[in-house]
Structure 1
Amino acid sequence: MSMLSEPIQKSRLADLVDVVIGVDTHTDTHTDTHTAAAVTAATGAILATVTVAADADGYDELVEFADTHAGLRGWAIEGTGGYGAGLARHLGDLEELVVELDRPGRPARRGGRKSDPLDAARAAREALSRTRLAQPKSGDDRAALQNLLTVRRGAVEAGANAQRQLRALVVTAPELVRDRFREQSIVVMVATAAKLRPHTAAADVHVFTTMTALKALAKRIQSLEAEAGEHEKAIRAIVRSWRPDLLPLPGVGPITAAVVLAAWSHAGRCRDDGAFAMLAGTAPIPASSGKTVRYRLNRSGNRQLNRAIHTIAVSRLRYDPDTRAYAARRTAEGKTDPEIRRCLKRYITRQLYRQLEHPPTTSRA
C-alpha cells in the first residue's frame, strides 16, 4: 500500500510505515540493475530481496514485489539524482513515499562482506534510523533547468580552457604572429585570431601551424560562447515562466535563479531556512573555544548553490545601496570582510527560502 510523502518532514519513517523497501542502485559493464530489500519497520528484519533491470519493466516488477508485503510502505533509494532517478520518477508518479539517500551508512565489512542485497537492506535501515528525511528532487521545470545548467556549464568551462590555450600559444608564437596580439585583451585576441588567414605557401612552417592553431581555437571559443548564450536564453525563459518573482530580487539573475531553483526543487523539500542554509553551505559552523566565540567556513552542501549565493552577495555589495550601507555599518562594528560576507550570504539564503516557499499571490482581474 502506498502513501503520500508529505508527512515525512514531521515524523520518523518508522512511525509512518510498516515496511521499507531499500534500493541499491548502480551500474556495471553491461547493464543497469536495481536490487531491493523489503525490511520491517519494527525490527529491521529482511523479509525478501529482488534484483531487476533499471527500466520501465523493472520498475513495475519492483512495485509488484512491494505489493506482496502487507501494510503501509516507504522507499529508501540511494542516488535518486543519478542511477535511481528513473525509479524515483516512476514511484513519484504513483504517489509512493520516497526517501532520498545519497550514501547509506556502511560499516566496515569483515571478511569482505559485500553484496547488493546487503547494501539495499542497509539503505532501508539507514532511512529508519534517521530523524530527518530528505525528499528527492522532482518536477519537470527543475529537471529542465538542471539539464540546461549542466550543458551550459560545460560550454563555459570548455570555452575558458580554450581561451587559456589561445593565450599560451600567443606567448610562444613567432614574433611575426605575436606582434598582432600585443596589448590585447582576451576578447580582442579571440577576434584577431578568428580573422587570421594562414597560407600553405608560407616559407615558415612554424608560422603557418601557429596561425592555424590560433584560428581553430578562436572559432571553437566563439562557437562555445554562442552555445552558452543559447542555453542561457532557454534558462531565462523557464525561470520567467516558473518563478519570475525571483528575478526582481537584488543581485539575482537568470543563471543564479536557475541554480537556486534546481537545488530547492519544490516547496516542503527543506523543512526550514536552516535546512536550506545547510544545503547551500551557508550555515555557520561553530568553532568556539573557551571564551573565544567564532565560526568557520562551511565547506559542505551543494557547492553550485553556494557559488550562486556568493555571486548574489558580491553583486549586492557592489551595486545595492542598502547592502553597501549594511556592510559599512558592520565594518564600523569591527566585523571583517569575510565575516560580513558570511552574514550576508546567510541572510540571502533565508530571503530566498522564504520567497520560494511563500511566493507572492497575484491578483486576477
Structure 2
Amino acid sequence: MWAIEDCRHVSGRLEEALIVTGERVVRVAPKLMAGARRGGRERGKSDPIDALAVARAALREGIETLPMAELEGQSLELRLLLDHREDIVAQRSDEQRRLRWHLHALQLGDDVPVGALDRKVWIDRVARRLARQPQDARVRIARELLRSIAVKTRQARQLEREIAVLVADQAPQLLDQPGCGPLTAAKLVGEIAGPGRFASDAKLARMAGVAPIPASSGRRDRHRLDRGGNRQLNCALHRWAVTAGRVDPATRDYLARKQAEGKTRMEALRSLKRHLARRAWRLLNQPTPTATPLDTALALT
C-alpha cells in the first residue's frame, strides 16, 4: 500500500506508474499531515520529513478511510475542459468589466443590461456605436476588448457543447436529475474522479465538505458547517441544490419542510447537498440506475 500526499499536479505521474504496476495507492489530504509534522521529533521540512508525515497521517486516519487513487481517463479530460472553460470565462469577465468602464466614460453603455456583454445582439449593437465615434485611444481599446469578448464567448460555448457530449456519454443518469445540467454533471464527474474511490457516500460527502461536523458539548447536541473538503465539488453540489430548489417541485417541498422544522434557508440547502452527494455516489456507481426516484427519496429523508 502506498500513501501519497494529494497534490496531483506533482504526484500524478508517480500515482500512474504505481497503479499500472498493480500497486494500491491512497491519497492523503495535505491538511492531515499538519498534526504529524507538529508531533514529529525532527523539525523543519524535507522530503524524508514529509514522507514520514504522510505515512503517519495515513496510519492515524486508517488506510481504508482514505480515497483510493485510480487511473484518470475520461474524467480527467472533462476536468481539463472545464478548467479551460472557466479560465476563458474568468478572462472574459475581467475584459467585460474593463469595457464597461470605457463605455461609461464614453457615455455609450448606460442602457446595456448587466450580463449582456456576452450576447451577440448587444455585442453587435455596442460595436456599431463604437464605430461611429472618433477613433481615439479609448475607443480603439474598447473595440479591441469587444472583439476579444466575442471570441472568448464563442470559445466558451464551443467548449460547453463538447463537455455536454462527453458527459452525456459518461454520466447520462446525472443529466436526468432535476437541476443537474451538463456543466454541473461534468464538474461532479471530473472532481469525483471515479466513485469507486469512496467506500460509501459518507466518505464522498466528507471529501466534498457537505457532511456536518459534530460540535456537541454536554447535553447540547449540534453540528457545524464543514468549511474544508473539495470546494469545487462543494460548489457543484450547491449549484445542483439551488437549481433543483427552483425548478423541481419535490425539492421545493423538501426545502420548505426543512425550514418549517426550524432550519434557515442555508441550513436546509446544506441538508439537501448532503442528500445530493449520496444521490450522485449511487448514480455514478450504477451506470444503469434503478435507484429510488428523487422525489420519493426526498420525501423519505
Task: Name 1:184's counterpart in structure 2.
Answer: 112
CA distance in structure 2 between the partners assigned to 1:258 and 1:213 by the alignment? 36
Q: Higher relative contact order at CA 8 Å, sep ≥6: structure 1 or structure 2?
A: 2
Choose the corresponding residue for 1:358, options 270, 275, 286: 286
Give the TM-score of the pair, scaled to structure 2.
Answer: 0.83
Task: Name 1:128's counterpart in structure 2.
Answer: 59
Deviations 1:171-198 (A, max 9, x none): 2x1xxx31x3222214255443333227
| Paired residue type of 2:59 | L
1:235 touches 1:255 (CA, 8 Å); kept in 2?
Answer: yes
Matched, 1:214 2:214: no
CA drift at 1:75: 2.1
2:100 touches 2:109 (CA, 8 Å); kept in 1?
Answer: no
Partner secondary structure for residue 106 of structure 1: helix
Choose the corresponding residue for 1:266, options 174, 178, 194: 194
Partner secondary structure for residue 9 of structure 2: coil
CA distance in structure 2 between the partners assigned to 1:308 and 1:323 by the alignment? 17
Bigger Rg over Cα: 1
CA distance in structure 2 between the partners assigned to 1:333 and 1:129 by the alignment? 38
Give the TM-score of the pair, scaled to structure 1.
Answer: 0.69
CA distance in structure 2 between the partners assigned to 1:329 and 1:361 by the alignment? 27
For structure 1, the residue ranges without an aligned partner over 5 or more in a row are: 1-73
CA distance in structure 2 between the partners assigned to 1:219 and 1:100 by the alignment? 44
CA drift at 1:327: 2.4
1:236 touches 1:254 (CA, 8 Å); kept in 2?
Answer: yes
1:281 touches 1:306 (CA, 8 Å); kept in 2?
Answer: yes
CA distance in structure 1 between the partners assigned to 2:277 and 2:249 by the alignment? 19
User: RMSD across aligned C-alpha pairs, in angstroms?
Assistant: 2.5
CA drift at 1:94: 1.5
Task: Name 1:99's counterpart in structure 2.
Answer: 26
Q: Which moved more, 1:117-126 or 1:321-330?
A: 117-126
In proportion to residue count, which structure has more strand?
1
For structure 2, the residue ranges without an aligned partner over 5 or more in a row are: 291-301
CA drift at 1:267: 3.3
In proportion to residue count, which structure has more helix?
2
Q: Which moved more, 1:241-250 or 1:288-297?
A: 288-297
Matched, 1:237 2:129: no
| Paired residue type of 2:38 | P
Q: 1:332 to 1:361 in 2, by over 3 A?
A: closer
Matched, 1:153 2:75: no
Deviations 1:139-166 (A, max 9, x none): 3111101111111110111111111111
Task: Name 2:12's counterpart in structure 1.
Answer: 85
CA distance in structure 2 between the partners assigned to 1:181 and 1:230 by the alignment? 28
Choose the corresponding residue for 1:248, options 171, 176, 181: 176
CA drift at 1:80: 5.0
| Paired residue type of 1:197 | A
Q: 1:115 to 1:208 in 2, by over 3 A?
A: same
Identity percentage over the alignment?
36
CA drift at 1:83: 0.8
| Paired residue type of 1:334 | G
Matched, 1:194 2:122: no
Task: Name 2:294's counterpart in structure 1.
Answer: none
